[in-house]
Amino acid sequence: MSLQSTSQHSVSEQSATVLLTQELIRRRSVTPQDCGCQEVMIERLSAIGFNIERLRFGDVDNFWAVHGSSGPTLCFAGHTDVVPTGPEENWQQPPFEATITDGYIVGRGAADMKGSLAAMVVAAERFVAEHPDHYGRIAFLITSDEEGIAINGTVKVVEWLQQHNQLPEWCLIGEPSSTNQCGDVIKNGRRGSLGCTLTVKGQQGHVAYPHLADNPVHRAAPALAALASEVWDNGNQFFPATSFQISNIQAGTGATNVIPGELQVIFNFRFSTELTEQQIVQRTEKILDDHGLQYAADWNLSGHPFLTSEGALVSATVESIAAVTGLAAELSTAGGTSDGRFIAPLGVQVIELGPVNASIHKIDENTNIDDLNNLTAIYQTLLGKLLVSAHAQ
């Protein structure tokens, strides 16, 4: 795709969703900064009657917005923070100017996920204009702490919602789920993520006198090979098999003639519902023990696997995509973690639906304008199916 700037704009390029996407991209909200993105959204939502709760935890801005007074709640969830750009001189278009080129918006956050946020707001505006006294409630759960350490964002807002008895029945997260065209894939679950920092102890010494030292790299290598070749499970109809990946290995002083006294290995499991984190820990440490290692393992659970296999939300979303695009959406649990890991365990039906994810976190991140306009229509259609059609039945 060419990313040369174009000066001519079609009607679709001037849509409300496109203009709001550009306005959000132009704010340099590198995580955990929000840079006023949420106030832009709050102003639009307040204007159509949403009640707003600003929820700041630590250095993170969040908000909860609700339209309607009773009945089941459909919550749109997402984040205003973005990842760093990398060297800006490597971008064909400036990352925070939201340039329109060849039918695409180019900029950091275009796909992940300011385009989705804009589509959510515009869909809500259009739906409320047509159904001001709709059944049920529409909500927004927005954070600026998704791309970072994620400790003062959605997880804290969910705790607040529990305390105030406001958990939604349905939650749609605007993560970029699509593969080739907006709506071709719905994420109806995510694998769990379990990380470990493993420290293997040895004894430092001179490489010329290995009998007077104990090389932790040599000791750990067979154990790491065993972990890498282990079949942890075979997955199931919703999840691929659990995977083990080493991401970092560090040892030594930098000198060529010194046997290291310690080895540090960082690895991660992306696991299915076939396993619990306790089972993974036990099996991993048994392999390490069987190889006679002296070690310390520091485990970190980033999120449990979750699945929304069926129900009103999945059905209505599949139908909405078909109505707008003609696509038969595929259900998938592939990919990384998302803030759904904080919401789904509380019994909420959770899915993810957003733009094509091919360019996320990359130089020249972009999203297709027609896809954004279709996404707005899908969100609006979904609101109608859950808060109008279902109630009428």
pLDDT in tens, 13-63: 689 999 999 999 999 999 999 999 999 999 999 999 999 999 999 999 999
Whole-number mean pLDDT of the chain? 94
Query: At what angle are helices 115-130 and 37-47 packed, to 10 degrees?
Result: 10
For the chain, percent of residues with pLDDT exceeding 70? 96
- Which string of DSSP letters, residue by residue, matches 34-53? -TTHHHHHHHHHHHTT-EEE
Residue 137, pLDDT > 60, answer yes
Query: What amino acid is encoded at 142 in this protein?
Result: I
Q: What DSSP designation does 112 have?
A: I
- pLDDT given at position 8: 42
Contact 196, 284 (CB under 8 A): yes
- Residue 208 CB-half CA count within 13 A: 1
Tokens standing for 243?
Answer: 């995977």
Contact 267, 246 (CB under 8 A): yes
Query: What amino acid is encoded at 258 in this protein?
Result: V
- pLDDT given at position 12: 67
Query: What amino acid is encoded at 50 in this protein?
Result: F
Region 107-114 average pLDDT: 98
Measured distance CA(328)–CA(37) in Å, rounded: 33
| 367-391 burial: b if 16+ Cβ within 10 Å, else e | bbbbbbbbbbbbbbbbbbbbbeeee
Residue 73, pLDDT > 90, answer yes
Region 388-392 average pLDDT: 70
Q: What DSSP designation does 261 have?
A: S
Measured distance CA(366)–CA(115) in Å, rounded: 10
Q: How many CB atoms lie within 10 A of CB 334?
A: 14
Q: Which of 146, 147, 169, 352 is catalytic?
A: 146
- pLDDT given at position 390: 62
Tokens standing for 389?
Answer: 């059609």
Contact 91, 363 (CB under 8 A): yes
Measured distance CA(317)–CA(185) in Å, rounded: 11
146 is catalytic: yes
- pLDDT given at position 310: 84
pTM above 0.85, yes or no: yes
pLDDT band at 9 (very low <50, low <70, confident <90, very high): very low
Measured distance CA(231)–CA(229) in Å, rounded: 6
- pLDDT given at position 379: 98
Handedness of CA 12, 80, 346, 330 (dihedral sign): positive
Spatial strand order of the sheet with 243-251 comes to 243-251, 262-271, 192-201, 295-303
Contact 114, 354 (CB under 8 A): no
Q: For residue 317, give the H/E element and its range.
A: helix 312-325
- pLDDT given at position 293: 98
pLDDT band at 334 (very low <50, low <70, confident <90, very high): confident
pLDDT band at 11 (very low <50, low <70, confident <90, very high): low
For the chain, percent of residues with pLDDT exceeding 90? 91
For the stretch 260-269, pLDDT in tens is 999 999 999 9
- pLDDT given at position 336: 80
- pLDDT given at position 5: 42
- pLDDT given at position 22: 98
Q: For residue 116, give the H/E element and its range.
A: helix 115-130
Residue 162, pLDDT > 90, answer yes
Region 290-311 average pLDDT: 94
Q: For residue 228, give the H/E element and its range.
A: helix 216-229
Angle, vertex CA 333, rays to CA 244 and CA 362, nearest 5: 75
Measured distance CA(29)–CA(79) in Å, rounded: 10
Q: Which of 81, 112, 175, 352 is catalytic?
A: 81
Task: Report which of residues 393 and 185 the model is more confident about.
Answer: 185
